Structure 1
Amino acid sequence: MSENIQEPEQWSTQGFLAQFMRIHEQMPDRSFAFILGAGASRASRIPAGGELVQKWLEELHQRADGQSALADWATAYNLQIEDFDYARKAEFYPQIYERRFRRDPDEGYADLETVMADKEPSFGYSVLANILDQTRHKVVITTNFDNLVADALSIYTRSYPLVCGHESLAGFVRTRLRRPLIAKIHRDLLLAPINDSDGVNHLAESWKKALTALFSHHTPIVLGYGGNDGSLMDFLQAMPPETIPGGIFWCYRKDDGLPNERIRSLVSQHRGALVPVLGFDEFMLQLNDKLKFQFLADAVRQRANERAEHYQNQVEAIQKRLDDSTTDTSPETLAVKQAMQDSVARQQLNSWWDWELKARQTQNPEERERIYRDGLAQFPDSVELTGNFAVFMDDVRKNYDEAERLYRKALELDPNSAKNTGNFAIFIAAIRKDYNEAERLYRKALELDPKNANNAGNFACFKLIQNQLIEAETLAKQAWQLNAGHAEQVGAEAALYLGLIARLQQRDDQAALGRLKTLLQTGFMHVSWSFDTLLATAQSRLAEPDYRMYAALASAILDTDQVGDLDQYPRWREVAPIALNVYWEDQQPVDSD
């Protein structure tokens, strides 16, 4: 250590964590930025720079000699790298990269893609993602090429980051951020990552401008960065002292010992501190604890289930649209039907959903029943398959005793299934006429899944049939809100109920009819439902013209071909369409995203 260089302060990990929380809680005008190097990716099984250097040296050695010891062969003369020292080989990363791939730069890119392929973000990245998503500390600056930060945000949050993976994108960097920022100063893996000596040692002017602005508002926390490139280190050294608020907190692995002289000088220059940590994941665990974040396994599992269910629903929706297009014999439609048939035939029947797809694919009721029974023989504890078979036996075969047995079996398998509880409520009300039990089931379904628009809408219909208009209106508005302005049948049903309720209470129904008109003009996927009981109970309470128009509206909701018939009703022709994202007078604005 040179005598004219003052050593920086050394803080304990706990001391720094306490400082982090003080800034986090008491200084809302200041944020932290995370500077990540290759060491932060080691727990994600991505080799650090030194490990890659070792690999490339071994490959070069094998080509040139292969007989002598690597340490003896790897000299400045043999490698044609000035001042090369095998003991400090990691510091010569760019020169070794250039030497290894000078014949074919594309091979170098492919090599990096291979070592980074299929790597999952380690635990520390989950904490980092949570911080970027839930706090004002939204900046990551990295010399890494990998996508671990962006992947972690996708896996653990619903936040979409701005990823600047090339110097040409640096102009989009802002200091006031609504979403996380990932600044890749050596470029993204797929955008010709910078590995050569000139690129690694020189920071683009656009990055200098962007980083200067960022560091004027963000205190950097360095993790896993060895400072072996000239670009970022030169830039930080060139910044005048006291231009970075709070200084620089340089975290280093305790087992590796103090950072080199250049790093210590830089930290001292900016009045920062060195912080020993056990590792990236271990440090982020401690930060997770200070911020009182929960572990995310359940959230990840729930998101994965939601994604799988969404995917399944999309496939089933396509199946239904194809099934409903029985009169369309165009070559295009027949080709799509054949594609669906072939895709289903390739399924290996290794899951309940494979059997569900196979059952839905056949139009023959006897064959579909056989497929369901074969599927349940293989997966007797499948809640989903049991519940879907119950609906089939209820709606198609009209075997109500078997349907009830299956509904009850499904709820025995999973008493907390909101879908099966809601479907059983419909069955109990419509078939068994046990209205007390039906109401109990409807309420339980909404308790299990308060955000289920279909269950809220079905319960609204039930209450409307019971002539309990106040609660029916509350539930119908709830269904509309939960549908969030999407063009779906549940929205059309909710609008129908609200229009009926308004008419039954001698109020204006234009707000409901205007939204229903927009939905019918827009179109939506139709699902099985019956308004017969509702219309029968409403007929005696409505004026004859109103009843005929609402009966026609109910038919149009279930069948697109009936929409054109509505123009025979003068009052309907006068209805002005209302956009679905226009909120009702007593409701909050609808989020139409």
Structure 2
Amino acid sequence: MVKRKELQEPKKISQKRLVRIFKDIKGVKSEDNRFCFLIGAGASKSSGIQTGWELSEEWYQELQDDLEVDELKTWEKAIKFDAKKVGEFYSHLYKKRYESCHQVGYDKFKRIMESAEPGLGYVILARLLADEKHNFVITTNFDYLIEDAIRMYTATKPFTAGHEIMAQFISSQTERPTIIKVHRDLLLNPFNDEEQTKKLKDEWGKALLPIVKNFSLLVIGYGGNDGSLMDYLTEIDAKDRKPIYWCIRNEDDLNDKIRKLLTSNDFIVEIKGFDELMHSFNFAMDYKIFKDLDDIDNHQFVIAAKKRVETLKEKKRELLERLQKEKPEDISEETREIFTSAERYLLKIAYEEDTDKKEDIFKEAIERFPDNVELLNDYAIFLKNSKKDYDKAELYYNKVKELAPESGIILGNIANFLTEVRGNHELAEKYYEEAILYKKNDSVILGNYAIFLGTTQKKYDKAEKYHYMALSLDENNANNLGNLGNLLILRKKDFKTAKEYIEKSFKYTKEDQLDLLAELWFYRYTHYSEWREEAEKELDKLVAKGAKSIGWNFEDHITIAKENGHPNIKKLQEFADAISKE
């Protein structure tokens, strides 16, 4: 790197002019004008973290209290200490203050920084980093305010290089918010004393060069008191970097290092503070971060948080459904502890084989948790499938619908009940459509609706559309694959394509899915002569095991088999009756 020559003074612009630049860049969608933020400790003050200057003052006062007068004067003379410029001696003061116990100093920083929450300024900065092209931050801070703000208040995940080892993974071409901590991350042995902050690590120097070459530095809250970063920037010829915009409250506070760095290509921007500058950006960029804060339930942050909670609940529900199918002795107590209240009962119900005892557990659970949607929904299904108490099942379906009127799963279950039990196909179709409206990405609901459309309503085109929609969400769903094969046979008599889906369905069907296996072997026995002999043997075994698909209509398949000259229609009918009738 070539040392810069002395050049004339930097230009001065107002905060308004600086903000206007950002607004203009956004307006013209400029790709060539990008800023990299250089953030120092001054930016973190409103978030509850002391500035470097404040810490320096605190440490100096403590050294005055702890050291003998002669020892203090000798030390001050050795480092040419100037109390009026106490902040410029930050690293010296830190080393002296904690020389007898480095860990105490580190623990102090941990206590301060780990409890800090991003202030309003950092919330706005997070939006700038995530939504605009200005996605880089270089910082001498080791706190987590920037990355916390990005994770909490945007939908973006940042990349943080908190150690020089990570420098090799920094790309100036990335659009991901990237945070470069040149003095390391809080948990990675950060640099504080003068030896550590004297010279920038070579790894950082190499990684930062493309950034300062292609990004204008916007410096906020940084006093330029460390040797490492300031010396690095000063050694770069002004012609080999973009302009620097140095934000400061008072121009008189610029130290000699800063004055030596800045040239006529650079700018001094007088601001009232980090937060105030960010407030101006918020207004100029027309962000809606603070809109509708009084309407908490409908604020974008709350909606996003609710979505995360719902996702977590869904994952927990998926785990519960998986455990309900496993043997109780295979479930550890630690895993059971994940589930509380009504969920514990649902596990107990799943492991109880006696129908009457199972109902007793349901009743006890509902008495304790009368408004638990999952519990009431499962009880309605139990009443329908196991007890055949359809009136009581309908009563509970209606109750659970009142509690969860926008639950796609509940609406889908009610639609199944209406068409299978009540024969009210018109109302069932309405519920299916509502279910999809509220849970449009559920392959099971889409698949059930497709079956209903094809087998009950004979709306084959629409049925095929929904079968493919279901498979687009879960291409390995055995039920949906087999049902699409069924539809293709009935609708188009496309035996070749149907065979492909039936065979794929076999691939993903589990051994305990006797009902589905019976249907798939039935299709093989009915329409594919090469499988007929084996299919007959497998169907005999499945019927003997009690495989059932109650209510499934095989009549159209039998009609097609007769047209195609099936050799044993009588046996075919026997299988159909054994599988589909009580």
TM-score range, shorter chain: 0.7 to 0.9
Contact 1:76 1:85 in 2 (8 A): no
Alignment of 1:405 with 2:408, yes or no, is no
Deviation track 1:367-394 (CA, whole Å, cap 9, x = no partner) reads 6656655655565554454444434444
Task: Classify 1:504/1:163 alpha carbon distance in 2 versus 1 (closer, same or farther; 3 Å).
Answer: same
User: Equivalent residues in 2 for 1:434-449 (5 A)?
Assistant: 434-449=424-439
2:463 to 472, 475, 481: 472
Task: Classify 1:271/1:426 alpha carbon distance in 2 versus 1 (closer, same or farther; 3 Å).
Answer: same
User: Among the aligned pairs, what percent are the same residue?
Assistant: 28
Task: Classify 1:442/1:209 alpha carbon distance in 2 versus 1 (closer, same or farther; 3 Å).
Answer: same
Say which SS state the counterpart of residue 199 (structure 1) adopts. coil
Give me the whole-angstrom Cα distance separating, in 1, the residues matched to 2:518 and 2:428: 15
Letter matched to residue 36 of structure 1:
I
- Cα deviation, residue 518, structure 1: 5.5
Task: Classify 1:503/1:417 alpha carbon distance in 2 versus 1 (closer, same or farther; 3 Å).
Answer: same
1:93 to 90, 101, 117: 90
Alignment of 1:137 with 2:137, yes or no, is no
- Cα deviation, residue 308, structure 1: 1.9
Q: Under a length normalisation based on structure 1, what TM-score does the superposition of the two structures give?
A: 0.74
- Cα deviation, residue 95, structure 1: 1.4
- Cα deviation, residue 174, structure 1: 1.9
Q: Which residue of 1 aligns with 2:308?
A: 304
Deviation track 1:268-314 (CA, whole Å, cap 9, x = no partner) reads 5442241514433x544543444444434134323422442244135
User: Equivalent residues in 2 for 1:192-341 (5 A)?
Assistant: 192-245=189-242, 247-252=243-248, 259-262=253-256, 263=258, 266-280=261-275, 282-295=276-289, 296-320=300-324, 323-325=325-327, 334=329, 336-341=331-336
Letter matched to residue 260 of structure 1:
L
User: Equivalent residues in 2 for 1:406-421 (5 A)?
Assistant: 406-421=396-411
- Cα deviation, residue 353, structure 1: 5.2
Letter matched to residue 424 of structure 2:
D
Say which SS state the counterpart of residue 145 (structure 1) adopts. coil
Gaps of 5+ in 1: 66-71, 327-333, 563-593
Give me the whole-angstrom Cα distance separating, in 1, the residues matched to 2:73 and 2:354: 78
Deviation track 1:109-128 (CA, whole Å, cap 9, x = no partner) reads 33333322244444444444
Say which SS state the counterpart of residue 266 (structure 2) adopts. coil
Letter matched to residue 235 of structure 1:
Y
Q: Under a length normalisation based on structure 2, what TM-score does the superposition of the two structures give?
A: 0.75
* Range that drifts further, 125-134 or 135-144: 125-134
Say which SS state the counterpart of residue 478 (structure 2) adopts. helix
Alignment of 1:503 with 2:489, yes or no, is yes
1:453 to 420, 426, 443: 443
1:35 to 33, 38, 55: 38
Give me the whole-angstrom Cα distance separating, in 2, the residues matched to 1:87 and 1:121: 31
Letter matched to residue 274 of structure 1:
V
Task: Classify 1:429/1:240 alpha carbon distance in 2 versus 1 (closer, same or farther; 3 Å).
Answer: same
Alignment of 1:109 with 2:111, yes or no, is no
User: Equivalent residues in 2 for 1:164-179 (5 A)?
Assistant: 164-179=161-176
Give me the whole-angstrom Cα distance separating, in 1, the residues matched to 2:10 and 2:467: 69
- Cα deviation, residue 172, structure 1: 2.3
Give me the whole-angstrom Cα distance separating, in 1, the residues matched to 2:530 and 2:464: 19
1:17 to 16, 19, 33: 19
Contact 1:319 1:361 in 2 (8 A): no
Say which SS state the counterpart of residue 197 (structure 1) adopts. coil
- Cα deviation, residue 533, structure 1: 13
- Cα deviation, residue 265, structure 1: 5.9
User: Equivalent residues in 2 for 1:511-522 (5 A)?
Assistant: 514=500, 517=503, 521=507
Deviation track 1:25-55 (CA, whole Å, cap 9, x = no partner) reads 4222332222222233344434433444455
Task: Classify 1:81/1:534 alpha carbon distance in 2 versus 1 (closer, same or farther; 3 Å).
Answer: farther
Q: Which residue of 1 aligns with 2:187?
A: 190
Gaps of 5+ in 2: 1-5, 290-299, 549-582
Contact 1:473 1:497 in 2 (8 A): no
Task: Classify 1:492/1:297 alpha carbon distance in 2 versus 1 (closer, same or farther; 3 Å).
Answer: same
Say which SS state the counterpart of residue 481 (structure 1) adopts. helix
Say which SS state the counterpart of residue 238 (structure 2) adopts. coil
Letter matched to residue 480 of structure 1:
L
Aligned residues: 523
Letter matched to residue 23 of structure 2:
M
Say which SS state the counterpart of residue 30 (structure 1) adopts. coil
Deviation track 1:232-276 (CA, whole Å, cap 9, x = no partner) reads 22222232224433x223344x5x776424446645544224151
Task: Classify 1:80/1:8 alpha carbon distance in 2 versus 1 (closer, same or farther; 3 Å).
Answer: same
Contact 2:39 2:220 in 1 (8 A): yes
Aligned alpha-carbon RMSD (Å): 4.3
Deviation track 1:470-496 (CA, whole Å, cap 9, x = no partner) reads 11111111112233x5x5xxx322222
Give me the whole-angstrom Cα distance separating, in 1, the residues matched to 2:394 and 2:144: 51
Give me the whole-angstrom Cα distance separating, in 2, the residues matched to 1:325 and 1:270: 73
Contact 2:381 2:393 in 1 (8 A): yes
User: Equivalent residues in 2 for 1:68-83 (5 A)?
Assistant: 76-77=73-74, 82-83=79-80
